[in-house]
Structure 1
């Protein structure tokens, strides 16, 4: 099986602007931002999509959410942010490696769409 785009970034085979990294995840700037701040929080372990996560992925999934808060504080997002996880083509998933989008620094609409 070939590596996902995110695995290649994690392995430093493809360059990315890294905002944060620890032993369980990496946070990079999206190359096609949908907001002034658009970060991707990516687990280093491959979980294809959220609907395929198992009980053994629970700690990693929680870590991604905690990391979102850490990074938001680090880069100074005082008014709020949105987290998005896409699942499948109808949700515009483009890389089969679960990741969390952190969007901020513009007024986000509701419902999203």
Structure 2
């Protein structure tokens, strides 16, 4: 995954406000006034995926540059738990009342394509098993 490290910069640009995705969280409230400066007091950002694998798919990612779950420290437990709560709340807001799936890809064999930890929330249709 060494060759993918420059993709971290994409998230860094996102957090700096030089890239504007379709923002999909409470940040929408602050967007016009603060742009991404609100990330100074928020721990995460939720936004829509550019290549959705389900009718509804969005990502939750920290502003902190954590490459993957294997790099997370025990001190990050509350942040990673917060991801799941943010994902659950955003899924409810988007009307995923019949269920959804949360996925965190880790490493090459886990399908991680970007070197920045993130949680994918998928829904909007019956999701099959096994997933891959």
**Same fold flag (TM > 0.5):** yes
1:89 maps to 2:94: no
Q: Which structure 1 segments of 5+ residues have no match?
A: none
Q: After TM superposition, list the pairs within 5 Å mapping 1:58-73 onto structure 2.
A: 58-73=77-92
Unaligned 5+ segments in structure 2 are 28-38
Conserved in 2, the CA contact under 8 Å of 1:86 and 1:92? yes
Structure exhibiting the larger radius of gyration computed from Cα positions: 2
- Cα separation, 2, equivalents of 1:60 and 1:43: 8
User: 2:63 is matched with which residue?
Assistant: 44
| 1:13 pairs with one of 1, 18, 25 | 18
Does residue 117 of structure 2 align to residue 98 of structure 1?
yes
Structure having the larger proportion of residues in strand: 1
* 1:4, distance to aligned residue in structure 2 (A): 2.7
Q: CA RMSD in A?
A: 1.6
Higher helix share: 2
TM-score (norm 1): 0.92
Compute the TM-score of the two structures, normalised by the length of structure 2: 0.80
